[in-house]
Each structure stands twice: as C-alpha cells, then as structure tokens.
Amino acid sequence: SWGVADALFACDNNGNYELPMIATGYKLSPDTKYADITIRPGVQFQKGWGEETAADWAFTFNDENAVTNPTSIHGQSGDFAAYFGKVETIDKYTIRVPFHNYAVTCVSFLMSDCHQSTVAMSKKAYDEKGPDWMRENMIADGPFQPVEWIRDDHVYLENAPGAHWRNEPKYNRLEIVAVPEEGTKVAMLSAGEIDGADVALKSSIQLKGQGFLIMNPANYVTV
C-alpha cells in the first residue's frame, strides 16, 4: 500500500480487478485445474538484487502457503492453503498455480492489490543471506524502499534508486507516522505538520470545509 512492492494484478475505480501489474496476464486451463501466469520481463529488485522472475514468485507463494510451508505466518497463508497447491515454474517468466478449489475470484481476491494479495520476495537474497537476514531486510520491487520501521511509531521510506518499471516517485522521502488519536490527527493536519491522514468521516467533512481534499484511493475495495 505504501509503494514498497507491486502485486501481480491491480484494480481501479471502474470495477476492473485484474489489471496487469507485475503479471502481464494469465491463462486458465479449460478444466480450471490451474492458471499459468506470465511475469513481466525486466522488473528489477531493489538494492541490486537482480531481475524478478518466475522463480521468485514460485518461491514466495510456496513459502507463504500453509500447505507447502506449515510454519508460514503470512497474512494469507490460510487463504492460499484453501485455494492453491504448490506453484511451479514453467519457464523464466511463467508460473503455474494449481487450484485445490477454483473460484472466479482467485485472481482478483488473492493476486490483486484490490484485496488480500502478496508481493514477490527475492529468492536469490533468501538463498544467499538466509531467513533471519530477510526478516530484517525487505528486498522488493516498488518505487520506494524501507529505511526504518519502528512498529506503532513510524516508517521512513526513500525513493529506490534506478528506474522503476512503471513510475518514478515524485518525491524522494515518505514518512508515515502512527497517530492513533483522532483529534491529534486533525490538529496535525490543520497545523501543516502532516500532509495527509486517514480520518473519520465526521473529521473529513470538517477538514473539507477548511479546504482539504478528500482522496478516493483507486486501489482499495472495502468488503
């Protein structure tokens, strides 16, 4: 959600939930037993970890799936286990995702950033550095890379050097601060201490009256 990594697919405000992102498309088998997903060539991992390929996506899905990795603590480990079997690579830019249970929402629900998705982790970084290093060093493919993350306090992100495959950020540093109290968020906005905030509906109406713009995030769907 912060631009650190990209999902396979995306959605927009027009009801499209399978727009190409890291994936350029997919083909569903006639018997709905599997889907072959094509990965966009040339996408680069941050910090010089090389090109993102089908091997990284197969590694990621299988590491997160509670069936293929019973120790997974990924947020969608149970959903992946219910739907997906072991993901395999067909070639450098193609993965095959087998279905335990096929549903027409498999792609939009579990592979698109409109809902509960995942992003690719670098298999090369995992193989060379190991899981403990990976827990402290996120290697992803987005336009921003993490600099510091203190839980329940703040996140600092910076423009990842090099050309992002789709867009370059329009600013070099992004700071996200945890402000749980509604009145404090409104006060910080009014004082110009922060540029934006997720506020309650009542507060948004008040702030709009002060000249603030209410944004409608294009890639979020609330169920």
pLDDT classification of 105: cutoffs 50, 70, 90: confident
Q: Does residue 111 contact residue 7 with C-beta atoms inside 8 Å?
A: yes
Mean pLDDT within 151-159: 95
Structure letter (DSSP) for residue 30: T
Q: Does residue 158 contact residue 46 with C-beta atoms inside 8 Å?
A: no
Q: Does residue 158 contact residue 137 with C-beta atoms inside 8 Å?
A: no
139 in helix, strand or coil? coil
What's the whole-model pTM score? 0.88
Q: Which pLDDT does position 220 carry in this prediction?
A: 53
pLDDT, averaged across the chain:
91
The one-letter amino acid code at 91 reads D
Mean pLDDT within 14-32: 93
Exposure string for 121-131, b = 16+ CB within 10 A, e = fewer: bbbbbbeeeee
Distance, in Å, from the CA atom of 131 to the CA atom of 138, rounded to the nearest integer, reads 11
| Residue 204 clears pLDDT 60, i.e. is over it | yes
217 in helix, strand or coil? coil
Phi, psi of 162 (to 5 degrees): 100, 160
- Write the pLDDT tens digit of every residue in 31-40: 999 999 999 9
| Residue 143 clears pLDDT 50, i.e. is over it | yes
Q: Which pLDDT does position 223 carry in this prediction?
A: 43
